[in-house]
Structure 1
Amino acid sequence: MAKQNFTADRVTNFKCVPGKQQTMYWDAKAPGLGLRVTATGARSYIFETRLDSKTLRVTIGDPRVWTLGKAQAEATRLKALTDQGIDPRRLREQQRASHEAEQAAAAAEALRGSVTLLDVWAVYVADRSAHWSEHHVSAHRKIIQAGGEPRKRSPKLTEPGPLATLANVPLVDLTTQRIEAWAKTEAQARPSSARLAIRLLKACLNWCAAHPTYSAIVTTNATKSSKVRETLGKPKLKHDLLQREQLAGWFEAVRRIGNPVISAYLQVLLLTGARREELANLRWVDVDFRWNSMRMKDKIEDFRLIPLTPYVANVLNALPRRNEWVFSSPGAASGRLAEPRIAHNQAVAAAGLPPLTLHGLRRSFATLSEWVETPAGIAAQIQGHAPQGVREQNYIRRPLDLLRKWHIKIEEWILNEAGVALCTQAGNLRLAV
């Protein structure tokens, strides 16, 4: 179609030729400027020229948005670009990419200055919770809590966690100097909690360094400072355990605890050497009274199978089956025993014994098992310790019956020293006279 001088009226009156899908009209003033009119009445300004021996066509826009003057100016601009060998389509893509990069950089800079440790901590815990135990998730929550919340079993309010003072610090400001100053303060009040906090924080910052969003913020891990380690010091070895001569007093006091679930839990904790949360998570489906075995969640492996010894079997069999948990607690939100320490501390005090932690009972099992000359590898396997040495790791595969042989010996020796006898005729447990 012949070119003609575009005017506003002509542009408005251009129609699609009958029988065609679209008709192109070309402007005689602005080189390459055209108007495309479709059979459905759609209209748009276009620019068309030759570039690199190929036809290049670019849509300018709707005439209702673009005035004729602006469309002619745009066509003139595009013609100037193509005369220089520049493809306006590629130039537009480059400009768009540059604009998006600028926006992304601005957003990253805004994020860099605004995201705090508390913000990223929540994302980190949510991402990793599926791989952690309930106890580990709870530890992460408590270590950074603001405090001031009511306690369940005490009129006192919760204390701020060791990381509470760093919670609202922007992640970018968690420098080595700030961490060192924090460590100096926390080491004076609660060094043990601070050591746990720094381990958890170190893992969090390592996660950030590999995260697509936070890796631009956390380029170095500020917790990796020798000064921080020196300030917080090394944990002291704990020596709390039950001596041979203390067993009678401990058993008598624990068996008198008013709550039978707590009483049973503490006795089984000593006689299995298990970790406190491993035993608290024991379900009835994990206890096999027929084949005398217990399936315990394990810190090293997914689970471990240990013997169900006679005394422990009797204790467990006497417990109420109120839900799925062996050590159930109707008043707890989880339905299982949550905090046996208070009752245990009271029993230890009533027996006139030195302070003894729940982990001290695990330490007691390991120590007392040597009285019956139990092979160290067997006691370690019952307790869920990682195999030590090449032989233990690669060659020793002990069947449950072998573990049971020694586990029963350990149990019988502890009960005998405690003055506790298993009355098999009546099927009850009693103190020996």
Structure 2
Amino acid sequence: MPPQYGHRWVRCGSASISVAVTAGAPAGAQLPAEAPPSGRYLAPEEQQKLLSGAPATLWPYIVAALQTGARRGELLALRWADVDMKAETVTFPKTNNGDSRTVPMTDTLRALLVSLPRPLDREARVLPEWEPPALTVAFGRLVRDLGLPDLRFHDLRHDAASTLTMAGVPQRTIMAILGHRDPRMTLRYQHLSPEHLRDAARALDRRAATPETAAAERQGGA
């Protein structure tokens, strides 16, 4: 299982030191240790294992979370009235920051929604009925059985943010999809795979002169 590669963390330690000194605190005072970042993305093989091994009652939640970056509570509360198949959007009316959030459907999410039974009651829940604690317990049991014991349901939201980041989606757009007001919060959800970091490092290689070119230039300048 991949560790939390490349987690981008906003640090403000130097500013805190400056404030502490101004307030009369000893200049050599040690600041409390910063809490380690939590959450991670899924490697492709992990995502495949999760989707292949999920039971029918959990599978729709996993797909929807990966395709929208929505929180567990937002998915549990989703009603058919919040789904606009014509506009291909899903609206989450009850979010952590109090605002509603509308996200576009991916092709994968649309296929999932089309496959689900759609009652006449527009206030009916979209996804299978679960109580929040029971859903968490069932997901925990699933990932243990699949050999992914450190994976939490909320990590699917981290995975969506990381996937968008590595695809080059602008930060402002990712904030809108996740429903974040503060970019520092979005940074906590963004993780970079080792392959992505390696590709980024190759950009430095492409800019550098080849050893042969560098040697020729040195000889020519001698």
TM-score (norm. length: structure 2) = 0.58
- What is the correspondence of 1:329-348 to structure 2 with a 5 Å cutoff? 329=129, 337-338=131-132, 339-348=134-143
Q: 1:376 to 1:263 in 2, by over 3 A?
A: same
- What is the correspondence of 1:283-432 to structure 2 with a 5 Å cutoff? 283-297=79-93, 298-321=95-118, 324-329=124-129, 337-338=131-132, 339-388=134-183
Q: Verify: 1:249 aligned to 2:49, yes or no.
A: yes
Q: CA deviation at 1:236?
A: 4.5
| 2:92 and 2:100 in contact (8 A); partners too | yes
In structure 1, the gaps of 5 or more residues are 1-232, 330-335, 390-433
**For residues 101-142 of structure 1, what are the alpha-carbon distances to aligned partners after superposition, in whole Å with 9 as ceiling and x for unaligned?**
xxxxxxxxxxxxxxxxxxxxxxxxxxxxxxxxxxxxxxxxxx
Q: Alignment partner of 1:380: what SS?
A: helix
- 2:70 aligns with 274
Q: Alignment partner of 2:62: what SS?
A: helix
Q: 1:250 to 1:284 in 2, by over 3 A?
A: same
| 1:270 and 1:365 in contact (8 A); partners too | yes
Q: CA deviation at 1:346?
A: 2.8
- Between the aligned partners of 2:92 and 2:118, the Cα distance in structure 1 is 18
Q: CA deviation at 1:269?
A: 0.9
- Between the aligned partners of 1:271 and 1:244, the Cα distance in structure 2 is 14
| Paired amino acid for 1:321 | R
**For residues 299-342 of structure 1, what are the alpha-carbon distances to aligned partners after superposition, in whole Å with 9 as ceiling and x for unaligned?**
2243011101211111122222355111242xxxxxx5533223
Q: With CA pairs under 8 Å and 6+ residues apart, which has the higher RCO, 1 or 2?
A: 2
Q: CA deviation at 1:251?
A: 1.7
Q: CA deviation at 1:244?
A: 3.5
Q: CA deviation at 1:258?
A: 3.9
Q: 1:314 to 1:388 in 2, by over 3 A?
A: same
Say which of 244, 264, 267 aligns to 2:60. 264
| Paired amino acid for 1:282 | L
Say which of 238, 246, 267 aligns to 2:38. 238
| 2:69 and 2:177 in contact (8 A); partners too | yes
Q: Alignment partner of 2:154: what SS?
A: helix
Q: CA deviation at 1:356?
A: 0.9
| 1:380 and 1:386 in contact (8 A); partners too | yes
| 1:287 and 1:294 in contact (8 A); partners too | yes
Q: CA deviation at 1:235?
A: 5.5
- What is the correspondence of 1:15-414 to structure 2 with a 5 Å cutoff? 236-254=36-54, 257-259=55-57, 262-297=58-93, 298-321=95-118, 324-329=124-129, 337-338=131-132, 339-388=134-183
Q: Segments of 4+ in structure 1 off by > 3 A?
A: 233-236
- Between the aligned partners of 1:347 and 1:364, the Cα distance in structure 2 is 18
| 2:89 and 2:103 in contact (8 A); partners too | yes
Q: Alignment partner of 2:102: what SS?
A: strand
Q: 1:245 to 1:387 in 2, by over 3 A?
A: same
Q: Alignment partner of 2:48: what SS?
A: helix
In structure 2, the gaps of 5 or more residues are 1-32, 185-222
Percent identity (aligned): 27
- Between the aligned partners of 1:351 and 1:378, the Cα distance in structure 2 is 33
Q: 1:327 to 1:337 in 2, by over 3 A?
A: farther
Q: Alignment partner of 1:282: what SS?
A: coil
- Between the aligned partners of 2:61 and 2:162, the Cα distance in structure 1 is 20
| Paired amino acid for 1:309 | T
- Between the aligned partners of 1:235 and 1:296, the Cα distance in structure 2 is 30
Q: 1:239 to 1:301 in 2, by over 3 A?
A: closer
Q: Alignment partner of 1:269: what SS?
A: helix
